[in-house]
Amino acid sequence: MEEDVAGFQVETCFGSSGCPNRAVDEGIAARIEESLSGKNLRLFLKEKVKGPLKMHHEFRVSISDCPNACSRPQIANIGLIGAARPEISDAPCTGCGACVAACRESAIDLKDADTGPVIDYDKCLACRKCCKVCPCGTLREGQRGWRILIGGKLGRHPRLGMELEGIFLKDKAIAVVEKCVDHYMTYTVEGERFGDVIDRIGIDALEVKGS
């Protein structure tokens, strides 16, 4: 098994093959792979881990182009989820209710056309479905980029990744991934998971926040 351990993995969903649910269409996987390749994680892990390397020692980044999260970013060391946050424009609302019907999170309230839609951003997953169905342009895409989850894992003590605040543009998202990997390489003990490092050290040292 050790010969098959590359040190890291970057997993993606099937969004680029034409999935209609994509919230973003900006290729980011290749740049993350290039960045991680330069950190020589395999050699790093061989020096840290006692005994032979196994697949679960690899640092995993999982990328999904929408909140359906087909590549399971919630259980990766770092998970990226495509996001397009809706915003309300000046275009008059017709009160058709298409946005309310499209929102699976019940994050949109529409009492009448005069007041227009009201978005509960605490519920909104930034999937952009409401924007796609709005016939009059009242709802449009605002901030577009990536939601980032860190510290997810399976194993004997599974945990879901913790979501960082905000939505990150492409270059900022890549910078956050690099910062997280550097944080992991600085503080990991014997190749423990990134989530375990966060539990011990905390995430304040990362100082990352989206917009």
Is the model's pLDDT at 207 over the cut of 70? no
Quote the pLDDT of residue 203: 77
Task: Label residue 209 by pLDDT band (50, 70, 90).
Answer: low
CATH code for 85-142? 3.30.70.20
- What residues are paired with 9 via a beta bridge? 60
Per-residue model confidence (pLDDT) at position 129: 96
CA distance 100 to 94: 13
The predicted-structure confidence for 105-149, as pLDDT tens digits, reads as follows: 999 999 887 889 999 999 999 999 999 999 999 999 999 999 999
- Taken as a whole, the chain contains a residue count of 211
Q: What is the mean pLDDT of the chain?
A: 92
Rg of the chain on CA atoms, in Å: 20
Query: In sequence order, what are the residues at sequence separation of 6 or more whose Cβ sits closer than 8 angstroms to the Cβ of residue 54?
Result: 1, 2, 5
Q: What is the pLDDT of residue 211?
A: 55
Q: In the prediction, which pLDDT does 42 show? A: 93
SS3 105: coil
pLDDT, residue 113, reads 78
Tell me the mean pLDDT in the region 16-28: 89
Alpha carbons 60 and 7: distance in angstroms, whole number: 9
Q: How do residues 157-188 score in pLDDT, each as one tens digit?
A: 899 999 999 999 999 999 999 999 999 999 99
Q: What share of the chain is helix, strand, coil (3-state, %, to 5)?
A: 30, 20, 45
Asked if residue 210 has pLDDT above 70, the reply is no
Please tell me the predicted confidence (pLDDT) of residue 105.
Answer: 96
Q: Give the distance from CA 91 to its chain's centroid.
A: 31
pTM: 0.92
Query: In percent, how much of the chain has pLDDT > 90?
Result: 78
Token pair for 102: 């499209």
Kindly report, residue by residue over 44-59, the tens digit of the pLDDT. Answer: 999 999 989 988 899 9
Q: Which fold is adopted by the domain 2-83+143-206?
A: Sulfite Reductase Hemoprotein; domain 1 (3.30.413)
Looking at the predicted structure, is the pLDDT value of residue 93 above 90?
yes
Of 169, 86, 82, whose CA–CA distance to 129 is shortest? 86
Each domain of the chain, given as residue ranges in start order, spans 2-83+143-206, 85-142
Alpha carbon distance 85, 121 (integer Å): 9
Read off the tokens for 185: 């390489």
